[in-house]
Amino acid sequence: MMYQENILDHYKSPRNFGRIGNATVHHHEYNPLCGDEIELYLVIDENKKVIDVKFYGRGCAISLASASMLTEQIKGKTLDELKNMTKEDILEMLGIPISPVRLKCALLSLDTLKNSILIFEKYVRK
């Protein structure tokens, strides 16, 4: 069953939900297939460690729960550690069977994170 208690809990009370005014990097991803949207705000210190994170968005239970759980994992990690995160890490984190059509929902937050890091490295801290 996809909608286990922890998934629904993260969906209904997402952790780190909101925006950060002075974020080091802020990025927005959109999944046009379902209309899911995730905005990710990262505060990154001089050691390239994420010291604060928030996300904002709308979407299905899978994409929002995935984003909420991911923000819990992000805090305190360095960008290099985060860059190594894979699809498998997300699936393990969710701990539920994800059908191929819902994979995009599950991975939207990871895509947002990866692209946020790319933007940070390309434009914010050269």
Q: Which of 57, 59, 74, 112 binds other proteins (CB under 8 A)?
A: 59
Interaction of residue 20 with other proteins, rule CB under 8 A: no
Angle at 13 between CA 72 and CA 34, to 5 degrees: 90
Q: Is 48 left (phi over 0), alpha (psi -120 to 50) or beta?
A: left
Nearer to other proteins, 3 or 124 (CB): 3
Q: Which of 13, 21, 22, 33 binds other proteins (CB under 8 A)?
A: 33
Interaction of residue 105 with other proteins, rule CB under 8 A: yes
Q: Which of 15, 75, 102, 114 binds other proteins (CB under 8 A)?
A: 102
Output the CA torsion sign for 92, 94, 97, 99.
negative
Shortest separation between residue 74's beta carbon and other proteins, angstroms: 24
Q: Which amino acid is at 23?
A: A
Residues constituting the chain: 126
Interaction of residue 3 with other proteins, rule CB under 8 A: yes
Burial class (CB in 10 A: 0-12, 13-18, 19+), 13: exposed
Question: What is the binding site for other proteins (CB under 8 A)?
Answer: 1-3, 8, 11-12, 32-36, 58-62, 102, 105
